[in-house]
Amino acid sequence: MTIRKKLLLAFITTTVLTVFIIAGIVFKQFKDYALSSFVAESQRQVERIDEIINIHMDSARSTVKYMASIPEVRQGLGKFDNYSQKAEETVVTRDIINPQSRQVFDVFHLFKGVNPSLDLLFAGYKDGSIVIYPGAPLPAGFNPPDRDWYKVAMSASAETSFTQPYVSTDKTVVSSVMARIRDNNNNVIGVAGIDFKLSTLTETLSKLSLGNTGYVVVLDGNQNVIVDRKHPDNIGKNVKDIKDPVLSRIVSVKQGSFDDVINGELFNINVFPSESTGWTIVILREVSDIISTAVDASMSVLYVGLAVLFVVSVVSFLISRSIAHPITQLVEASEKIAQGNFDALPDAKFFTGELGQLYKSLSTMIVNLRNLIKNSETKTLEAEEQSKKAKIALEEAHQASLKAEQSKQEGLLQAANILESVVAELSHSSNEINGLIKETVSGFNEQLTLTTETATSMGEMNEAVMSVAQNASEASLNADHSQKQAGDGIVLMSSVVKSIDTVRNHAQATQNSLDILGKQAQDIGRIMGVISDIADQTNLLALNAAIEAARAGEAGRGFAVVADEVRKLAEKTMLATQEVASSVKAIQKGTEDSISSMQGADLAINQTVEYTNTAENSIVSIKDAIVLTAGQIQSIATASAEQSASTEQIANSASKIHQLVEVSSHALNVCLDQVSKLKSNSKHLEELVASLKNKK
């Protein structure tokens, strides 16, 4: 991998990691806030649902209490029809009941006309008598005290009680509410009851929605489903019969929050018990819908990060090219220098910083290499001079041999004597030359071996040093880049902190405004209370004035008219005050909810600031470590570059010397062969001289 690619990879990797870390932190903070807000909102929804249920129950409770207080009902013991002794089923209608039962039957009819949600109205007594509207088939031996509704009402601690809801044949959810019937002596003589339809309640709860996917599920005290908009087939069924793992988990949890998969989607499920009814209210909503805001915020950060990544990639490409191009020039110049072109270095103006130092080291190496080559050439000339002297000695020996041949004709004895002295001298000289040449050859061979080993070692050492220098240079560049990226990360984190601080300031300002609005709403409430008191007093005064005017007779009639108008005005004022008070309460509740949400947002923002500050401190620590490492790597790179330059100079010089020694060694070996031949000829001459002397 080239230096340019390594630099680009380092820049892009650092930027990508920074962007994804920030996006992850933002997503987590917004997700946690969204989930906690949903739990709080679910709690408020449950309170509203419980209030709606209580309104329906209170209405039914008031109705049945009124039924039990009707004089005809309180005095009905022993007066109504009794079916406890019937041996067969009896279909009760208005036509077959006695007059006393018919009278109460007609009263119950009036209740049904006022409230259509009432399904069945009845009053059963301890003697077994009963009146029921609008009539129903009663089994043989029907005795009210033996029925569950009668037992529940009699065993309840309160005067009124409820049965758990059940589903009628027309798929309508029905519940029974009962009240004890007391006679004029306040003795309990029976139970009045109403079966009322919960269709209005279930429809209201089914229509409740939270976000795009939230809905409500309600279970009664016996774990029967009475509200489930998404699964209407489950209504009226017991959780055990449905065998739905989610519903089973809801029943086991009883109260709390958990996540589970429904129809392939992950839902956040909040379970709350209703203290007033014993029912279980469940709020469900898809997690993806809850955290959609967090996803949008994270995607915004990611888009900004991609834009930053593009800019960083372009800048990184330009920076890496500016660094890699001078290094490529030096590599090409080094290859040419290795081929013998010592003028291949480019202009020094293209190199700055560490590359400038490397350029200077390479220039110094070339100068030293030239000096070494020059010294090697001088040594070569000296070796050639010694070779020439050896050739001259051989030539002199040859001339002496010719003279010896000529002297042979003049006189064998004289020639032999002269030749003997010449041969002796020649032999002595040959032996000396032979010894010198052998020593020289031995020295050259040893020098050749040493220079070969030195050249090999220096080559290996040069490669290692070059590798170290290159790696150190790359590490230095990467450290510089990482330092710059860490600095950019610090700047980016600082910007994030400032942005979050701005959001927190706006949120704090909004919360302050809401606090002021809440106080003003409370002030308005107090003022409306004062106005209401004034209206009450005015109404009372107007009433007293009307009474006094009536006492005054004809003289006070005009004043009575004015007092009546004042009273009407006071009543209108009271009505208007009540309406305004209701609006103010709604504003106060909305303000309290907004303040609570803003406090949650402020807490999430503070946590985000803390996490961001921690990340910023970590990046600062990383930057300091990178700066320290960059300095150490730079020192290593500089030393390695200098060592590489010197090693390469020595290696090249050793290579040149090795070549010269090989040439000189070859020449000396040739001389040694010639001297050996000369010694052989000298021996022949000695033998010849000895032969001549013998002939003498």
pLDDT of residue 80: 93
pLDDT at 343 over 80: no
| Cβ proximity of 135 and 121 under 8 Å | no
Mapped to the 3 state alphabet, what secondary structure does 158-176 carry? CCEEECCCEECCCCCEEEE
Position 316 scores a pLDDT of 67
Which of 177, 201, 225 is where one domain is finished? 201
How many whole angstroms separate alpha carbon 565 and alpha carbon 560?
A: 9
368: how many CB neighbours lie within 10 A of its CB?
17
Note the maximum CA span of the chain. Answer: 207
Please give the average per-residue pLDDT across 544-552, as a whole number: 56
Average pLDDT over every residue of 329-353: 69
Q: What's the pLDDT at 51?
A: 81
Number of domains present in the structure of the chain: 3
Per-residue pLDDT tens over the stretch 54-102:
887 888 888 899 999 999 999 999 999 999 999 899 999 999 999 999 9
Q: Are residues 423 and 362 in the same domain?
A: yes
Q: Where is the domain boundary, 156, 177, 201?
A: 201
Both 40 and 84 in one domain: the answer is no
pLDDT (tens digit per residue) in 395-427: 765 675 566 566 555 655 665 565 566 556 655
- Residue 558 is assigned to a structural domain of this protein: no
**Which CATH number goes with the domain that contains 83?**
3.30.450.20
Share of the chain above pLDDT 70, in %: 46
Q: Is residue 586 part of a domain?
A: no
Residue 239 lies in a domain: no
Q: Are residues 630 and 485 in the same domain?
A: yes
381 and 495 fall within a common domain = yes
- Report yes or no on 581 lying in a domain: no
Judge if 35 and 121 occupy the same domain.
Answer: no
Residue 61 lies in a domain: no
User: Could you say which of 142, 175, 201 is where a domain stops?
Assistant: 201
Structural domain span for residue 167:
70-201
Please report which confidence band the pLDDT of residue 612 belongs to, taking 50, 70 and 90 as the band edges: low
Q: What is the pTM of this model?
A: 0.41
| pLDDT score at 637 | 57
* pLDDT band, residue 375 (cuts 50/70/90): confident
Contact 100, 79 (CB under 8 A): yes
Q: Is residue 432 part of a domain?
A: yes
For residues 165 and 40, state if they share a domain: no
Please tell me whether residues 460 and 383 are part of one structural domain. Answer: yes
Query: Are residues 28 and 148 both part of a single domain?
Result: no
DSSP category for residue 129: B
Q: What is the pLDDT of residues 20-33, one digit of tens each?
A: 787 677 667 767 77
Say whether both 474 and 377 belong to one domain: yes
Prior bond of 346 cis (ω within 30°) = no
Hey, is 540 helix, strand or coil? helix
pLDDT at residue 186 is higher than 60: yes
> What is the tens place of the pLDDT at every residue in 213-224?
888 888 888 888
Per-residue pLDDT of 280-300, as tens digits, reads: 989 888 888 877 766 676 677
